[in-house]
Amino acid sequence: MKINSITLLNFRQFLGEQTFVLRSDPLRPVSLIFGANGAGKTTLLNAFTWALYGSMSEDVEEQHRMVTDSVWRELPIGGTAEVAVELTFDHEGREYRLVRQAESRKESDEQQRAIPEVQLWETKPDGSSEEVGAPQERIYTILPQGVSRFFFFNGERIEKLVQKGAYGEVQQDIKVLLDLEQVERALDHLPKVDRRLTADLKKYGGQKANEIQTAIDDLRESETTQKEEQKVLEADLATLNEEREAVNELLRQHATAAPIQREREASIQDLTDARAARQQALSDRSALISSRGFIAFTDDLAKTTAEMATALYERGTLPAPLKREFVDQLLEEGRCICGASLAEHTEPWDHVLEWRQRAGLQAVETAWQQLRGQVSPIIGARKELHESLQAILKRLSTDADRVGRLEERISELDGLLKDPRMEGVEELESKRIDLDGRIGVKQQRIGSIKTALEQVQKEIAQKTTERSRAAVTDELAAKARARSDLVQSVRRALEEILAIRSEDMRQRLDAELKDVFSKITIKRYIPRLSTTFELALFQTIDGVELAVPKSTGENQILSLSFVAAVSKLAREIRKEHRAEGTLAEDAGTYPIVMDAAFGSLDQNYQREVSRALAQMAPQLVVLVSKSQGLGQVVRELMPYVSHLGVVVTHTTVEHDVSDDIELEGVAHPYIRSAAEADHSELKVIA
């Protein structure tokens, strides 16, 4: 989606009809619009969302006063006033014109909430244009309302994106944007489709097919129940983990407990590493024994073989003085090397034949030679095996010591925190222990459900194979079975695609976020997107990774980095080979429209945020005041700007409050006093 223009008609303080063209190109994707406090920057931002969804953000006051006050005041009782916003935009190869309009009939000085109507026209690539039958539905498919929070936002409130408690909604919207949600929904819906198909199989497929299908249905039911329980348990676990993190945070902040808590966290991390190292050593030992362990039992074998070979050589049996192949050749040719004829059953023939029995086979001799060649390396390999095993045993012993030491140290630190003399800490520590216990129980339960689910899935696969082999004569039933098999295959593929996409998306979003954030921040904080798409900021102190209590500014930077990363990834993924097939060139492209974009950020942050957004967003509309936008922001953004504008404030205040804004050396009206009515004017500068 790329916005081409916005036109306002009597929309709040924007008197009459006013248009601002926003069409931009990839080299200059930015439109920069200035406005004084109260000029209508937030209103302009809300004009976009009102046009798209018919709603405005919560921070807009007096939402029922849609028509410009002066227009309403002049309207006679019984008269009607029109308020409208028109958006033109391109999306996936088509042009759209969207108009949301409301008519208000004046019954008193107070405006009543008007119900707007929406219309949408679509121009196809062939130039034909038509009105879209279900305009709101189409808009939701172009940009779902939840997702719009990433693209139309107020910079001062953007930090809500990364606040605790917002994860659920944000995660859901990210899933939509990154094409995960449709896969999850398909996985929810396909079993119902399958159930409908297999009902026919049960009805017409005969007793055997019916029995198998009933068993599959039962297994599926059990699978659903267990999956639901798993979801509940995982949600409980997330809550408990959050509670434990909060307790840990309190312990970290407690003056007396802080150093102990820090050491404990470092020790716990070390313990995890030590246990992993010990496990690795055990695995290495198993791998060594399974691949080369047999060499340990070759001591006698190697020795005996070597002795045998030596004895044979000493006796002159090896190498064989006479080869059987040579004797066979003489017999076949019927002539001895001495020149005697070798006719069958004659004395010379019998004589040579007797030699055949005593001759050695070439193959046997070669085998002996090879065996001899391998005997000495076996002796060397045995020695090597012994050394490798000893090294692993040493590692195991060191790791076991380390694990033991750390376990003791952690117990000691636990004890210190339980000391009743530490005011407030004892209670926190008891709570932490309790939470640890409860988390353990949940994890165990989740583990056993996972095992049970694996078993159920195996049984389903088995029964499905049985089903495909069962004799079904009825045509309807056979068709139902084929369709059910098809649905099952697609379901399995979708399950795998979901797993692949989720991990891939998370890793890429995390990497992108780290990259953007590191370019903006002046601190050594590292953002991280967890497996559950939770955003957090960390820093490393004395080797311990600790969560950063974020300031409003840091939350804003984190959120803006997140928006930039999401925007970039949404575009990238739709250009890849995916199950949805080839998508339009601009699929996944959305504009970013930001009000008060730089919130309360310092100058250096404003500069870096401007740069990051200008380089990453395919289209950027920035609404700023003079104090926020001049200086660093203008300097950074100007090379990327294709449209420049000012929302001029016209005020009825009579004393001179007029002000200008100087852009590229030219002064433009910013505030004008002594107007006939309070209103705002959207003025195009360039």
Give residues with Cβ within 8 angstroms of 519, minimum separation 6: 608, 611, 612
Distance between CA atoms of 347 and 265, rounded to whole angstroms?
A: 96
Residue 458 or 578: the one with the smaller Cβ distance to another protein is: 578
State which of residues 310, 489, 604, 652 lies at the interface with another protein (CB under 8 A): 489
- Cβ 34 vs Cβ 78: under 8 Å: no
Please say which residue, 325 or 572, places its beta carbon nearer to another protein. 572
* Segment interacting with another protein, rule: CB under 8 A, options 298-306, 379-387, 495-503, 633-641: 495-503
The residue within the footprint of another protein, chosen from 494, 546, 609, 682 (CB under 8 A), is: 494
Residue from 486, 522, 657, 667 binding another protein (CB under 8 A): 486
8 A C-beta contact, residue 143 and residue 152: no
Which member of 441, 490, 547, 685 binds another protein (CB under 8 A)? 490
User: With respect to another protein, which residue has the nearer C-beta, 490 or 548?
Assistant: 490
**DSSP secondary structure string for all residues of 401-436:** HHHHHHHHHHHHHHHHHT-TTSTTHHHHHHHHHHHH
CB of 135 to another protein, least distance (A): 13
Kindly state the smallest distance separating residue 481's Cβ from another protein, in Å: 11
In the bound state with another protein, the residue whose beta carbon lies nearer, of 489 and 540, is 489
Whole-number minimum distance, CB 140 to another protein, in Å? 3
Q: How far is the CB of 175 from another protein (least distance, A)?
A: 10
Q: Which C-beta is closer to another protein: that of 18 or that of 198?
A: 198
Residue 95 · residue 123 · CB < 8 Å:
yes
Residue 160 lies near another protein (rule: CB under 8 A): no
Query: According to CB under 8 A, which residues from 549 to 578 bind another protein?
Result: 576-578
- Rounded to the nearest whole angstrom, what is the least distance from the CB of residue 193 to another protein in the complex? 5
For another protein, give the closer residue by CB, 325 or 504.
Answer: 504
Phi-psi region of 18 (alpha: psi -120 to 50; beta: other; left: phi over 0): beta
> Among residues 497, 548, 675, 685, which is the contact residue for another protein, using CB under 8 A?
497
Instruction: Decide whether 159 or 179 has the Cβ nearer to another protein.
Output: 179
The torsion angles phi and psi of 208, rounded to 5 degrees, stand at -65, -50
Q: Which of residues 166-205 bind another protein (CB under 8 A)?
A: 176, 179, 181-183, 185-186, 189-190, 192-193, 196-197
Residues sharing a CB contact under 8 Å with residue 136, sequence separation 6 or more, in sequence order: 54, 118
When the beta carbons of 142 and 526 are compared against another protein, the nearer one is 142
| Residue bearing tokens 């005020």 | 651
Tokens representing 546? 């600790």
Q: Cis bond leading into 259, ω under 30°?
A: no
Task: Tell me if 70 sits within 8 A of 677, measured CB to CB.
Answer: yes
Q: Kindly list the strands in the beta sheet with 544-547, ordered across the sheet, starting from the edge strand earlier in the chain.
A: 526-529, 535-541, 544-547
- Interface with another protein: number of residues (CB under 8 A): 37
As measured in angstroms, the least distance from the Cβ of 184 to another protein is: 9
**Separation between Cα atoms, residue 404 and residue 426, nearest integer Å:** 25
**CA nearest 104: which of 132, 142, 69?**
69
Given its phi and psi angles, is residue 400 left (phi above 0), alpha (psi -120 to 50 degrees) or beta? alpha
End-to-end CA distance of the chain: 23
Coil, helix or strand for 653? coil
Chain centre distance of CA 382: 48
Q: What is the DSSP string of 296-339?
A: GGGHHHHHHHHHHHHHHHHHT-SS-SSBHHHHHHHHHHTB-TTS
* 646 close to 683: Cβ distance less than 8 angstroms: yes
Q: Which stretch binds another protein (CB under 8 A): 254-262, 368-376, 379-387, 487-495?
A: 487-495
Near another protein by CB under 8 A: residue from 500, 541, 657, 686: 500
- In whole angstroms, the minimum distance from the beta carbon of 275 to another protein comes to 22
Pick 269 or 502: Cβ nearer another protein: 502
The whole-angstrom distance between residue 266's C-alpha and the CA centroid of its chain comes to 28
Q: Which is nearer to another protein, 388 or 502 (CB)?
A: 502
Question: Which C-beta is closer to another protein: that of 175 or that of 611?
Answer: 175
CB-wise, 493 or 666, nearer to another protein?
493
Q: Which is nearer to another protein, 376 or 468 (CB)?
A: 468
Q: Minimum distance from CB of 4 to another protein (Å)?
A: 23
C-beta of 482: minimal distance to another protein in Å? 6
* Least distance to another protein, CB of residue 53, Å: 10
Residue window 579-608: x/- pattern of binding to another protein, with contact defined by CB under 8 A = xxx---------------------------
- Within 8 A by CB and 6+ apart from 163, the residues are 555
Least Å from the CB of residue 122 to another protein = 15
Kindly state the smallest distance separating residue 197's Cβ from another protein, in Å: 7
Which helix (H) or strand (E) is 540 found in, with range?
strand 535-541
Q: Is 496 in the site for another protein (CB under 8 A)?
A: yes
Considering only residues 103 through 142, tell me which ones interact with another protein, judged by CB under 8 A. Answer: 137, 140-141
CB 271 within 8 A of CB 407: yes
Residue 332 DSSP SS3: helix
Report how far residue 405's alpha carbon sits from residue 129's, in angstroms, rounded to the nearest whole number. Answer: 76
What are the counts of helices (DSSP H) followed by strands (DSSP E) for the chain? 17, 17
The alpha-carbon radius of gyration of the chain (Å, integer) is: 39
Q: Of the two residues 74 and 503, which places its CB atom closer to another protein in the complex?
A: 503
Quick note: the x/- pattern for another protein over 428-467, rule CB under 8 A, is: ----------------------------------------
Q: Mask 465-484, x = binds another protein (CB under 8 A)?
A: --------------x--xx-
Contact positions vs another protein (CB under 8 A): 137, 140-141, 144-145, 176, 179, 181-183, 185-186, 189-190, 192-193, 196-197, 479, 482-483, 486-487, 489-490, 493-494, 496-497, 500-501, 576-581
